[in-house]
Structure 1
Amino acid sequence: MVPAALDTRRRFVRVTGERGNGFVEFDFAIGEPELCVEMILGREAFAEFCAANRVELLPAAGPAAQGEVSDWDWRLSDATRTRFKQQP
């Protein structure tokens, strides 16, 4: 079995939100867009980050982008806006 080639020269950014205080929420990936980290930067820092990494901008993804949400469509950042139910 031959492992798949991972091109670490390819960098990806998917903007996931913008806050009113000037911060951009985004996913950043190296080599594979599906394996990413959630990040947040000010608008100017975000532009510099994208230029320095020569990123490929990705469109919004998944069912959540079309307004269809399932139990599996969540992000770590969602945890700050969610109250979890306590089981009796």
Structure 2
Amino acid sequence: MSTEAPPMDTTRRFVRLSGERPKGFIEFEFAIGEPEIFVEMILGREAFAEFCAANRVEMLPPRDPDAPQGDWDWRLADATHTRFK
């Protein structure tokens, strides 16, 4: 019995919407191969639509804001609400 993980499928692209800013800017997470490993991006509405079409993304459901979070479950956007000393 093999315990090797299946290879990552880099042809799969994922987008999860995370917010919208004034003037139509869309905040989202973009991942290739694994939805859990993503980068945070912001694009204008038209550029976002083009980006999604060009990458043939799979849309993921929004994150549950009531789900318990661990120490590593935060986004860069969360830092805008945190005061650092």
Shift of 1:4: 2.5
Shift of 1:79: 1.0
The residue number in structure 1 matching 2:83 is 83
TM-score normalised to structure 1 length: 0.80
TM-score normalised to structure 2 length: 0.83
Query: Structure 2 unaligned runs (5+)?
Result: none
CA distance in 2, matches of 1:35, 1:83: 26
The residue number in structure 1 matching 2:24 is 22
Shift of 1:12: 0.2
RMSD over aligned Cα, in angstroms? 1.8
Query: Structure 1 unaligned runs (5+)?
Result: none
Q: In structure 1, which of residues 8, 31, 34 is the aligned counterpart of residue 33 of structure 2? A: 31
Seq. identity, %: 65
